[in-house]
Amino acid sequence: MHNKRVSFFEATARTRVSTLVDSGSFTEFCPPSKRFTSPHLARLDAPVAFDDGVVVGSARLDGQPVFIVAQEGKFNGGAVGEVHGAKIRGLLDRAAVEKPVAVLLLVDSGGVRLHEANAGLIAISEIMRALMATQAAGVPVFALVGGSCGAFGGMGIVTRLCDEVIMSEEGRLGLSGPEVIETVKGVGEFDSRDRSLVWRVTGGKVRRALGEATQLVDDDVAAFREGAIAAMSPVQRSANDLATLKQQHATLVQRREKHAHTVDGIEVWRQAGFAHPEGVAMLSASAFNEQLNTSVAEVKS
Amino acid sequence: MERFEITLPSLHVSALQQSALCGVVSSGNLEVMIEANSTPESCHFEVNTSADGFQDIWRAVLADFSERHKVGGLNISINDAGATPAVVSLRLTQAYEESQEGSDA
The sheet carrying A27-29 orders its strands as A27-29, A54-61, A64-71, A102-107, A141-145, A164-168, A215-217
Domain contains A157:
yes
pTM of the model: 0.94
B105 closest CB neighbour out of A19, A47, A49: A19
Domain contains A85:
yes
Enclosing H/E stretch for A181: helix A178-185
Report whether A124 contacts A131 (CB < 8 A). no
Give the 3-state secondary structure percentages of chain B, helix then strand then coil, rounded to 5: 30, 35, 35
Overall number of domains in chain A: 1
**Residue B24 touches partner A, C-beta closer than 8 Å:** yes
Contacts of A75 in chain B (CB under 8 A): 24-26
| Domain encompassing residue A87 | 13-173+213-238
List, for residues B39-91, the tens digit of each pLDDT value: 999 999 999 999 999 999 999 999 999 999 999 999 999 999 999 999 999 99
Domain contains A91:
yes
Domain contains A121:
yes
Q: What is the mean pLDDT of chain A?
A: 95
The enclosing domain of A228 has a CATH number of 3.90.226.10
Contacts of A30 in chain B (CB under 8 A): none
Is beta strand A64-71 parallel, antiparallel or unpaired with respect to A102-107?
parallel
As a whole number, mean pLDDT of residues B92-101 equals: 92
Report whether A133 contacts A96 (CB < 8 A). yes
Of 3.30.450, 3.40.50, 1.25.40, 3.30.230, the CATH number of B2-99 is 3.30.230
Backbone angles phi, psi at A215, to 5 degrees: -145, 145
Chain A interface, best mutation among B2, B31, B77, by max A CB count within 10 A = B31
Q: With bands split at pLDDT 50, 70 and 90, how would you rate the model's confidence at A300?
A: low
Give the model's pLDDT for residue B15: 73
**Residue A59: which of A108, A5, A14 has the closest Cα?**
A14
Beta-carbon separation of B105 and A24 below 8 A? yes
The DSSP bridge partners found for residue B2 are: B49
**Residue A4 touches partner B, C-beta closer than 8 Å:** no
